[in-house]
Amino acid sequence: MVAGHLREINGYLHSIISYKDENGMRQTRSISTGLPVKGNKRKAENMLMEERKKFIIPSKEPITQDMYFTEFLLKWLEMMKRSIEQTTYASYAMAIKSRIVPYFEPKDLRLKEVTPKDIQDYYQYSLDVEKVSANTVIHRHANIRKALQYAMKTELIDKNPADLIERPRKDKFVGSIYDAAELDILFGIVRGLRIELAVILGAFYGLRRSEIVGLKWDAININKKTVIIKHTVTEVTIDGKTIIVEKDRTKTKSSYRTLPLVKPFEELLLNLKAEQEENRRVCGTMYCRDYLGYIYVNEIGERIKPNFITQNFSIILNNNNLKKIRFHDLRHSCASLLYANGVSLKEIQEWLGHSDISTTSNIYTHLDFNSKVSSANAIISVFPIQTQEVNAQNQEANDGFNVQNSEL
């Protein structure tokens, strides 16, 4: 078990960590947060939580039903590390080590003692105290249920208590997007900046951040005018360390796709190619040659990091008083513009690389304003109002709907 608390030492907050080492011996470590006491308790508590994660070491004891629930979760997580993707493991580890274990640790529950109420109480705590979304709780539930399913299959427990709880209702996605006019302003602001390539690929091609960073020169065919999305670069944090994961495959089979190379983007790529060649000439031996195959590199040849995109996009919006959206919302902006211009959901699915059209439908059907206006026009003739004046008002309202939709 890893316990921890904050202590004031010489006017500064320190994290006091109590943990068992690999030999089962209790150790105590004092780590300065570097923060003055006044006004920094919340930040220091977050730092304490991060420090506690670093000292979590699963015991060498075999898994038994008498094992603490938290210890079981950590051993299950360690076991899963060898059978799942690094990105998936990072997600599991973040939830289990940062949130689930710290909650259950003080309760001293054995694996065999965990009840549906214990789990339900945790979900309610997450919603009410941590103020996380229902979707976050659903993800944590998936981790807990999967771990307990393993315990049930190995006959450590008779039934899975996570199967008997009420999950919160999943939040419906409501994206914040840019329309054509807002994108035009954004394109003008980022023109010539390092983040320009990311904005264009996100807004026009609807690429994910990992697909943007992973784009290589061999994916571009100037003669056939095509761009193949086939390589990804993802940044994850595992046990406090940032790791870059490169894959010669996309998120799903459907994410592997070929898109048309449009003239403006082709010109941008040619300019980037010439710029990179000039930088290599100027920098000489100082130029980084580890990422020569990648398109998105800086002046000395270093590949752009995924977090550079997220952080700098936010800075650009803030410095120019633009509407706040996530970088990933450029992908949704792309879809909304496609839909507004008559592109079918099936075609949008293929453009974005969704594996299931239901994913596309669930996210973007709220954009289908044309169909709603058509439905209203279809039944207006039987509406029980006959006066010429009201009919004229109805026609004016319908015209207003059509004008509003054209602006979307």
> Average pLDDT over the chain, rounded to whole?
84
C-alpha 382/C-alpha 36 separation (Å) is 72
For the cut 50, the answer to whether the pLDDT of residue 179 exceeds it is yes
pLDDT: which is higher, 299 or 174: 299
Query: Residue 395's pLDDT is what?
Result: 58
pLDDT: which is higher, 41 or 206: 206
Query: Residue 3's pLDDT is what?
Result: 67
Average pLDDT over residues 209-229: 94
Instruction: Output the CA–CA distances (angstroms, integers) from residue 194 to 124, 182, 299, 380, in the order listed.
Output: 44, 20, 10, 52
Query: Does the CA dihedral 298-301-306-308 come out positive or negative?
Result: negative
C-alpha 163/C-alpha 161 separation (Å) is 5
Query: Residue 44's pLDDT is what?
Result: 83
Answer yes or no: are the C-beta atoms of 266 and 245 closer than 8 Å: no
Answer yes or no: are the C-beta atoms of 112 and 153 closer than 8 Å: no
C-alpha 366/C-alpha 286 separation (Å) is 51
For the cut 60, the answer to whether the pLDDT of residue 155 exceeds it is yes
Please count the other Cβ atoms lying within 10 Å of the Cβ belonging to residue 3: 14
Q: Are strands 232-238 and 241-247 parallel, antiparallel or unpaired?
A: antiparallel
Instruction: Output the CA–CA distances (angstroms, integers) from residue 369 to 83, 187, 366, 374, in the order listed.
Output: 45, 26, 7, 9
CATH architecture of 180-365: Orthogonal Bundle (1.10)
Query: Residue 406's pLDDT is what?
Result: 41
Answer yes or no: are the C-beta atoms of 360 and 348 closer than 8 Å: yes
Query: Residue 401's pLDDT is what?
Result: 45
Q: How many CA atoms lie within 13 A of 121 on its CB side?
A: 8
Average pLDDT over residues 303-321: 95
Answer yes or no: are the C-beta atoms of 300 and 286 closer than 8 Å: yes
For the cut 70, the answer to whether the pLDDT of residue 35 exceeds it is yes
User: According to DSSP H, which parts of 214-356 are helical?
Assistant: 263-283, 306-319, 329-340, 345-352
Average pLDDT over residues 397-407: 48
The predicted-structure confidence for 50-81, as pLDDT tens digits, reads as follows: 777 666 655 566 778 888 999 999 999 988 98
* Selection from 370, 325, 358, 342 nearest residue 174 by Cα: 325
pLDDT: which is higher, 48 or 407: 48
Query: Residue 405's pLDDT is what?
Result: 43
Query: Residue 390's pLDDT is what?
Result: 46
Query: Residue 386's pLDDT is what?
Result: 47
Query: Residue 294's pLDDT is what?
Result: 96
Query: Residue 359's pLDDT is what?
Result: 64
Q: Are strands 226-229 and 220-221 parallel, antiparallel or unpaired?
A: antiparallel
The torsion angle over the Cα atoms of residues 14, 18, 19 and 24, rounded to 10 degrees, is 140
Q: What angle do CA 111, 115, 117 make, to 5 degrees?
A: 140
Query: Residue 147's pLDDT is what?
Result: 96
Which DSSP string corresponds to 63-115? P-TTSBHHHHHHHHHHHHTTTS-HHHHHHHHHHIIIIIHHHHGGGT-BGGG--
Q: What angle do CA 331, 337, 341 make, to 5 degrees?
A: 150
C-alpha 203/C-alpha 212 separation (Å) is 11
The predicted-structure confidence for 345-389, as pLDDT tens digits, reads as follows: 888 888 888 876 666 666 665 555 555 555 556 556 555 554 445
Label residue 391 by pLDDT band (50, 70, 90).
Answer: low
Label residue 212 by pLDDT band (50, 70, 90).
Answer: very high
The predicted-structure confidence for 97-153, as pLDDT tens digits, reads as follows: 989 998 998 898 999 999 999 999 999 999 999 999 999 999 999 999 999 999 999
% of the chain beyond a pLDDT of 90 = 49
* Selection from 225, 227, 245 nearest residue 236 by Cα: 245
pLDDT: which is higher, 32 or 185: 185
Label residue 316 by pLDDT band (50, 70, 90).
Answer: very high
% of the chain beyond a pLDDT of 70 = 80
Query: Residue 10's pLDDT is what?
Result: 84
Domain boundaries, the chain: 1-52, 180-365, 368-407
Q: What is the pTM of this model?
A: 0.70
